[in-house]
């Protein structure tokens, strides 16, 4: 059975909705820790707000410092939880979950894990 792992950015006071006001620049150590977390993820679970913001940005990134993450997030299967969105077709590999969330998560957990190229290389 697959695991659901939460990877959230939070501040000491618990505010996460305004990263432009509190998030500091990533240093090398933080980047490496985030990279290790991402290497083990085979599917992304997003809420409506994050999906809407990211879908407008990440598909447009093709070069530069963020190109590696952009390729990873764009190629990864994404499940979007929303009761207000009608479609998530604008971002490749996205699936809308708008019914019973608990059942949808159980189904994802019971599914077969996808092996990323970085995971396959370590085997």
- pLDDT at position 6, please? 75
Looking at residue 103, its pLDDT comes to: 92
- One pLDDT digit (tens) per residue for the chain, 123 residues: 788 877 766 666 666 666 666 666 667 887 787 778 777 888 999 999 989 999 999 999 999 988 988 999 999 999 999 999 999 999 999 999 998 999 998 998 898 776 544 444 333
Contact 107, 90 (CB under 8 A): no
Catalogue the E-assigned strands of the chain: 44-47, 78-81, 94-97
Q: Which residue has the tokens 């809407």?
A: 52
**In this predicted structure, what is the pLDDT of residue 11?**
62
Tokens of 106: 């159980």
Tell me if 27 sits within 8 A of 61, measured CB to CB: no
Judged on CB neighbours under 10 Å (0-12, 13-18, 19+), 78 is buried
Give the separation between CA 92 and CA 6, rounded to whole angstroms.
22
| Residue 116: per-residue pLDDT | 47
The token pair at 30 is: 């933080």
Structural domain boundaries in the chain: 43-122
């Amino acid at each position: 059975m697959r695991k659901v792992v939460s990877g959230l950015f939070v501040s000491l006071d618990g505010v996460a909705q305004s990263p432009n006001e509190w998030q500091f620049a990533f240093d090398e150590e933080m980047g490496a820790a985030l990279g290790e977390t991402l290497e083990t993820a085979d599917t992304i679970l997003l809420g409506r707000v994050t999906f809407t913001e990211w879908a407008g940005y990440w598909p447009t990134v093709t070069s530069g410092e963020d190109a590696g993450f952009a390729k990873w997030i764009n190629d990864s299967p994404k499940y979007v939880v929303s009761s207000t969105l009608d479609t998530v077709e604008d971002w490749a590999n996205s699936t809308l979950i708008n019914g019973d969330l608990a059942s949808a998560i159980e189904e994802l957990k019971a599914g077969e894990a996808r092996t990323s190229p970085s995971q396959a290389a370590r085997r």
